[in-house]
Chains A and B, each alone.
Chain A
């Protein structure tokens, strides 16, 4: 089951590559939907038998001891669920555009899916690292091959930047291996044999930098806005929707339980950085005129809050971060899809030259509105559950930090409504007058997203229940002295 879940996208990637340019998108959709179906089936198994049903272990290299150690617990499952839920939508969002060499394009997406699932499943440090790096390759080629005008330097910067972070992480893993009495990369070995706290401080930075660049936490975020605006929309969706969550997921999975003393030492600094980043990015977003960059900065603010909740080291923060990872993944894909629709039809990303789209595209307006209110965290949307718990987690950690982080509620409303007003409301102008309302595939994508937003906001309990056992274990390790 585990292997099937992991390898189906890889098979799909090959199948898409062989299917030819015309059929590529449909084959990709077929496979991603099948994968999603498989995930739903896996959920029923998971409900009955628990994580034990998903353990897969096979020796790979005897020295250094690296094994193919895969597993799915609640946390992994939620992340895999997010990946497999978003992929069909992302593929579907590419239906209305003509892409040169479409088979490669969609094949790379599926390869990305494979790598992402691998990241969320890997229970062996080095295997995890391999998947982590593997995930970088497809997105690099997607951005490089199908990006905007300025794509070459921007994607290079993105690639080198994240690669530099990963290198530190690789070094960190090697040192963990070296310090480990069992000489192993296995996650349970790493969990159960904490490194001497004298070494945890700098090891913390090895991992934290890698994750901070990926997430990104201010001040390691400067690759992001440019990459988002240059990458093709599907690439941006993959990046912001799922790939950023690799960073936050890894904080929970690999950083908290393995280096508790490092967290104790540097956690306060990290959470302060996160909270500063929230306000900082929100303020920048207020005056952004490029719609994709605006969403990029809003994304920095949101994931900053997620990371802050994780470093708050309490169950509310962790639960909130998981819920918000899902919520943000769904919402940001929706936002970037809306941005893509606007940019594609009006040929401009500058919000001050837009306006009045609502007059001619009411259906688009409604769905866009729902995504916007979810991202400003209005109650009964998924964004609220996450932000409420995250802010409460930070509150338990430190009252003043949460007051400061809470400013995101106000600032978020300011920049989102400004964007919405400038693009959608007012009078139609020459850029927007030929705007056509959504076609069926766009309506489907946004409709599914809007539906998910409300359902998750109303009934988040299944997610809480799914991840609670994993988070309990991780939290126990993280705060054990």
Chain B
């Protein structure tokens, strides 16, 4: 993968500290949290992440974009010819993720100190959050697939714990369980993919796998199998069709969790994994095509559902699914660094959107239905402005971060397949529409809730607004990380990642780059389109004061969309019900009736034989003697004549 690995001892310490600090934070809060005052536990957790962030920055400064650092810590599973080490690999891709995870992680910790202030599970919350960051860091830092898998499943566990954070509520618990189980389906794919690699390549180190894969014929069955299985893992973790239904349900968790885990970091793990294995995937074009189809389908499908959601967090959740679909589409097009770029910008604005939503919910004391909001812009200014800017960014408003990252993907789509480009453009216009439907319904017009609530609307404390402001700045200027070459600058982001992605370039089909003029045309089209859509939404929801209809009034297609195409119900009937029926059937019919009956029948036969035979014991001495004599005579006859 990277030839000039350097063993820079100075950087080993910060590299080890990056995951260690959250772990220490987790242990302190987990073991001694109940002896510490609230204010201390929250800050311990936040400072641990800040420490990690500083270490990550140190790594960023210490390593240039062509070098990487490999640290083998100990042999984890090692015997005969299997050798899986527990080790870290720090390269530009890792560092990108580290900065996003720890940076946004810290801001969200900070925000949570305010947001969770009155919650009885305050300490527990930060304990889980630290644990999550720890696992997320393992995921991105591991130097082989198994260490990644530790993080992969670990974040799944934390996601389970945090979705079900308010564990007295049964539906939240169900959502948590659903998330875990759906992730597990993907994890099985990941696991099998690792088995294939371990079996055929003899190793699951990133570098060995990449090298071994290049000795195989491109698009060979083995490569397709491996990549498909890995992608199944990614589908589960990154909520792609058909394993996406857990993510909207996961909004049951506290809002900072939705921001951190279900928008900015964990759900992008699938994209990270594919970019990490970009050589493998680029050698399997069939899989890439499949990823493209799944990504595009998810993007549109989720966006359409997002149009008719009325829960502020659910809208954002479907938007996340849709954006993740877009990222996968980028990967499917072989534009690995563009996908990563969108991961980063998406992390900025989506975390901001969720935190903003959290701030709104905080202000309204738990109200999440946008039909009962409205006119909030007047009361909570900071939240309003930051939320508005984030919405502009996600909608692709010119020169904000989402504009650049999205356009990069759209340009790649245009190069390769015009149909894909059309569909993705439609999807992004839908995104712009429902985002501004959300903004207008929430912040514009008149307040539609009760007077009681209205009196208590208040801006959030500084610990909550500060992260909003910082993220807002990032969401606005984040696009500068990857200014396209049209502006006569080097694409900073893809240059930084080039050492990771260059290995795969030779295996991808090269399409002719669009000319600068076309690219500018495309950008203008997307930008103007977004503005038009936003104006359309303004016309509908502000000018005409349209309100979403109540669920019961919906008919036809609207009803189907509003009910999320009944996907949950279909899964319920197709998978859940049959398994429960099967379970009962196995227990009652097979176990009790067939197997146990066979066992008991054996015992019954023995007992019955005994019962019958004992009847010969009549107690009549004469009979016994008679039998004895007869027996002896029979023996005598046998001896004499036979």
Contact = CB atoms under 8 A, between A and B. Distances in A.
A286 B595 contact: no
Contact of A464 (B78, B146, B149): B78
A459 B580 CA distance: 38
A209 to B, nearest CB: 12
A330 interface: no
A286 B191 contact: no
A259 B76 CA distance: 33
A166 B77 CA distance: 36
Contacts of A425: 164, 167-168, 170, 173
A284 B591 contact: yes
B26 to A, nearest CB: 12
A309 B330 CA distance: 40
B168 A391 contact: no
A458 B180 CA distance: 22
A425 B195 CA distance: 36
Contacts of A407: 188
B596 interface: yes
A184 to B, nearest CB: 32
A309 B449 CA distance: 61
Contacts of A56: none
Interface stretch (B101-109, B150-158, B390-398): B150-158
A358 B74 CA distance: 37
Interface in A374-396: 378-380, 384-385, 388-389, 391-392, 395-396
A310 to B, nearest CB: 16
B75 interface: yes
Interface in A428-476: 458-461, 464-465, 468, 472
A20 interface: no
Nearest to B195: A395
Contact of B195 (A222, A283, A392, A410): A392
Contact of B79 (A315, A384, A410): A315
A464 B79 CA distance: 6
Contacts of A421: 164, 173-174, 177
Contacts of A414: 177, 181, 579
Contact of A395 (B78, B82, B167, B199): B199
A161 B587 CA distance: 20
Name, among A221, A358, A395, the residue most crowded by chain B CB atoms within 10 Å (CB to CB): A395
B150 A380 contact: yes
B77 A385 contact: yes
Contacts of B273: none
A458 B74 CA distance: 10
Interface in A237-295: 280, 283-288
A380 B154 contact: yes
Contacts of B522: none
B150 A379 contact: yes
Given A378-B154, A379-B149, A389-B77, A356 B580 contact: no
A161 B602 CA distance: 10
Interface in B555-608: 579-580, 582-584, 586-587, 590-591, 595-596, 598-599, 603
Nearest to B189: A406
B475 to A, nearest CB: 34
A298 interface: no
Interface string A397-422: 00000110011011001100110010
Given A219-B595, A402-B195, A421-B177, A378 B168 contact: no
Contact of B580 (A286, A385, A417): A286
A148 interface: no
B177 A222 contact: no
Contacts of B82: 316
B173 A222 contact: no
Contact of A388 (B30, B174, B191): B191
Nearest to B595: A219
Contacts of B167: 358, 424-426
A406 B191 contact: yes
A426 B173 contact: yes
Interface in A205-244: 218-219, 221-223
A409 to B, nearest CB: 5
Contacts of B184: 409-410, 413
A161 B606 CA distance: 13
A413 B181 contact: yes
Contacts of A285: 583
A414 B582 CA distance: 14
Interface string B371-399: 00000000000000000000000000000
A319 interface: yes
Nearest to A392: B195
Interface in A162-188: none
Interface string B162-186: 0010011110011001001100110
Contacts of A286: 579-580, 583
Nearest to A223: B599
Contacts of B154: 378-380
B80 interface: yes
B192 interface: yes
Nearest to A320: B77
B187 interface: yes
A421 B149 CA distance: 25
Contacts of A4: none
Interface string A139-162: 000000000000000000100110
A378 B161 CA distance: 14
B587 A459 contact: no
B168 A359 contact: yes
A417 to B, nearest CB: 5
Contacts of A80: none
Given A287-B580, A395-B199, A468 B79 contact: yes
A375 to B, nearest CB: 13
A378 B78 contact: no
Given A378-B154, A392-B195, A427-B168, A283 B180 contact: no
A410 B77 contact: no
Given A379-B154, A385-B77, A458-B76, 19 more contacts: A222-B591, A222-B596, A283-B582, A288-B587, A359-B168, A380-B154, A384-B153, A392-B195, A395-B192, A402-B192, A410-B188, A413-B184, A414-B177, A425-B168, A425-B173, A460-B76, A460-B77, A464-B77, A464-B78
Interface of A: 157, 160-161, 218-219, 221-223, 280, 283-288, 315-316, 319, 356, 358-359, 366, 373, 378-380, 384-385, 388-389, 391-392, 395-396, 402-403, 406-407, 409-410, 413-414, 417-418, 421, 424-427, 458-461, 464-465, 468, 472
21 contacts: A161-B599, A222-B596, A222-B599, A223-B599, A280-B590, A283-B579, A284-B591, A287-B587, A358-B167, A379-B152, A380-B150, A395-B199, A409-B188, A410-B188, A418-B177, A421-B174, A425-B164, A426-B168, A460-B77, A461-B76, A464-B77
Q: What are the nearest 6 A-B pairs in CB distance?
A: A287-B583, A379-B150, A222-B596, A464-B79, A425-B167, A395-B195
